[in-house]
Amino acid sequence: MKTHYLSALSAIAAIFTMPAASATEPIGWASVEAYGLKTTTGGGDAQPVTVTTLEELKRLLSDESPCVVVVSGKISTGPKALEIKSHKTLIGANKSATIHGGLSIKRASNIIVRNLNIQGAGVGNDPADAIAARESHHLWFDHLNVWDSRDGNLDLTVGSDCLTVSWCKFWYTDATNDHRLCCLVGGGSTHIETDRGKNRATYHHNWFAELVDQRMPRFIFGQSHAFNNYYACSGNSYCIGVGSFASVLIEQNYFKQVKDPHRFADGNHAFITARDNVYEATKGRQETGLGGTEGLMVEAFTQPPYPYTLDEAKHVPEIVMKNAGPQ
């Protein structure tokens, strides 16, 4: 296996000296102490290793020893998603570093995925999701460019918890794909045994762009937070969906020429708190308060248990378009 320690260290240093939009630690639920972890650190200060092949990547991600893996060039996973085990940082060497296919996280924790282009397999191909996590916690997805999954660009399900998604661009290129269901937090209302008290996610400074149709994200169960995101995907069905016992704080986002900026997603109780968002030429629903008529009662989520700083909503398009995606 080829190891390129100097180039790997240079890549890490470059990313950690990004503009103020970038951070060396997560903001949001991935920073909260739980499950025996104080925060999300990934591979920590392990010696970075640069890889250029799928075989190298598989080997380094296949066990739970702390590891920082730097992807150089383009690596295709084939029809089976590449699995990431616990205590890993997966990071791109530069703006062009790409994984084509999919990433999978199952029953794992303390994982960071940063500064990568992740191109899904496309219509009719496997894997279905560009990134999928199940039964996992303390995950941080940051400065990614994710597009063209067959199904979800980023699906976090089966009781995944303590999640942050920041500074990512999500989009699709194929308008004939009728399953442009971008981001999911929670698998469904019947998943009470795995999801109740979990599915806590923070989405901030993300760009939902061309041809995204819905689920930006769809939140089910859990207390979640969406702030300073930019929604610019005209022709969509809806943006943020909140259903089945979720309580979500939606603040200082910018919605431009989209339908249904935020709405209740089903008939079960859920709660939406929206404050200080900008709605430019939008149409449809901007639902708030207690929604639904069935099941568990849900209270408002208005005070996240972590520090964060808001940008003014009017500046969000400029800030996010400049800084989202690999740097």
CATH number at residue 289: 2.160.20.10
pLDDT digits (tens, 9 = 90+) for 98-121: 999 999 999 999 999 999 999 999
Distance CA 163, CA 198 (A): 10
Question: Is pLDDT above 50 for 96?
Answer: yes
- CB neighbour class for 16 (10 Å; exposed up to 12, middle 13-18, buried from 19): exposed
285 carries an active-site annotation:
no
Q: Which residues contact 169 (CB under 8 A, 6 or more apart)?
A: 144, 145, 146, 147, 206, 207, 209, 324, 325
How does residue 187 score in pLDDT terms, banded at 50, 70 and 90?
A: confident
In the chain, how many domains are there?
1
Range of the domain at 96: 5-323
Mean pLDDT of all residues in 156-169: 98
Choosing from 215, 218, 275, 285, which is the catalytic residue?
215
Q: Whole-model pTM above 0.75?
A: yes
Mean per-residue pLDDT of the chain: 93
pLDDT digits (tens, 9 = 90+) for 12-71: 554 444 444 457 899 999 999 999 999 999 999 999 999 999 999 999 999 999 999 999
What average pLDDT score do residues 265-271 get? Answer: 95
pLDDT, residue 209, reads 98
